[in-house]
Amino acid sequence: MKTILKNRHFVNLESLSTTEINSLIERSLAFKRGEPAPDFSDKTLVNLFFENSTRTRSSFEMAEHRLNMYLLPFETVTSSVQKGETLLDTCKTLEAIGADGLVIRHGATGYYEELLATLDIPIINAGDGSGQHPSQSLLDLMTMVETYGTVEGKVVVICGDLQHSRVARSNADILKRLGAIVYGSGPVEWYDPAMGIPHLSMDEAVEQCDILMLLRVQHERHDGTTRFDPADYHATYGLTHERMNRLKNSAIVLHPAPVNRGVEIADELVEHPRSRIFEQMKNGVFARMAILEWCFSTKSIKGDDEDDNTN
């Protein structure tokens, strides 16, 4: 294995080999088991959240703290973003000031393309519009592997607002690459054939799945023309008590959250023993520690010089 000195960006999972992704899952689980965290006290990070967040922002902050990084405070509402400063200029400024890496959530799909062409420091994508949410995918994979040991051969049904969900897009791609059998479910008007996953009704989904991945309805990305009734949605596309009883005994339920209780999932089922929703949040810290370690480590990890990301 060679020593890698280049900066690694983490903007999607497509650009990582399956070996690298499996190594990141292994590192996430190792941190959860208590593996000591490396010391990155020489690194300064900035978290730039142009869209709201509870989990992603807080768990990146916790991961940065556990890796002993310095977190330079930044708030879009008090910055010169409010005077019209572009994303590129904000990021170039932070790089010039001495930031070693930027964690960014932004509403524009693919916002990071021009940053990758210009900046020399790692960009870590914390969600881009309806594009990708790769750190969420990694923590979801970690949660599945923690339960089953592998995702290979497992039936995963991603349910809900597929068209507007960056979580669905990230997960559908990587789950297929890792050998899972992936389906979509939910309203056909929000089904995205470009994801290349067959569609099941919610009743078919609960009977076939090993992993039921529910999605939040992304109202903020809708054009306002679709009539939406929460009770109707729950009855037709949600995880009701009756559907929960029809899941396989071994099946688990995931949701990236925030959860609309009583819409995607019945209120009391969020805390059901087969729900991994709060475990996903816990796992998010360990997954983000593994991502930051991967971005800043100068040591090679398995898969660095492989190019097996096209299968």
Residues engaged in binding ligand CP (CB under 6 A): 53-56, 127, 136, 256-258
**What are the φ/ψ torsions at residue 170 (nearest 5 degrees)?**
-60, -45
Residue 254's nearest CA partner among 165, 177, 193, 131 is: 165
CA distance 160 to 181: 17
Least distance CB 41 / ligand CP (angstroms): 26
Q: Please calculate the CA angle 306-114-28 and round it to the nearest 5 degrees.
A: 45
Which one is catalytic: 8, 9, 43, 56?
56
Name which of 122 and 127 has its Cβ closer to ligand CP.
127
DSSP string, 272-288: STTB-HHHHHHHHHHHH
Q: How far is the CB of 256 from ligand CP (least distance, A)?
A: 4
Ordered strands of the 199-200 beta sheet: 199-200, 181-185, 155-159, 211-214, 252-254
CB-wise, 95 or 140, nearer to ligand CP?
A: 140
Q: Quick check: is 272 catalytic?
A: no
Asked about 282 being catalytic, the answer comes back as no
Out of 32, 55, 221, 274, pick the active-site residue: 55
**Is 105 a catalytic site residue?**
yes
Residue 274 annotated among the catalytic residues of the structure: no
d(CA 237, CA 136): 22
Q: What is the smallest separation between the CB atom of 16 and ligand CP, expressed in angstroms?
A: 19
299 is catalytic: no
Determine the Cα angle at 46 with ends 41 and 52, to 5°. Answer: 135
Nearer to ligand CP, 88 or 259 (CB): 259
Q: Considering 78, 83, 225, 227, which one is annotated as catalytic?
A: 83
Question: Is the C-alpha dihedral spanning 299, 113, 130, 173 positive or negative?
Answer: negative
For residue 53, the minimal CB distance to ligand CP (Å) is: 3
Q: Can you say how many angstroms the Cα of residue 167 is from the centroid of all Cα atoms in its chain?
A: 6
Pick 58 or 236: Cβ nearer ligand CP: 58
Question: Cβ of residue 249: shortest distance to ligand CP, in angstroms?
Answer: 27
Nearer to ligand CP, 17 or 136 (CB): 136
Determine which one of 8, 9, 27, 105 is catalytic.
105
Exactly one of 9, 27, 106, 133 is catalytic; name it.
Answer: 133
Catalytic positions, written as ranges? 55-56, 83, 105, 133
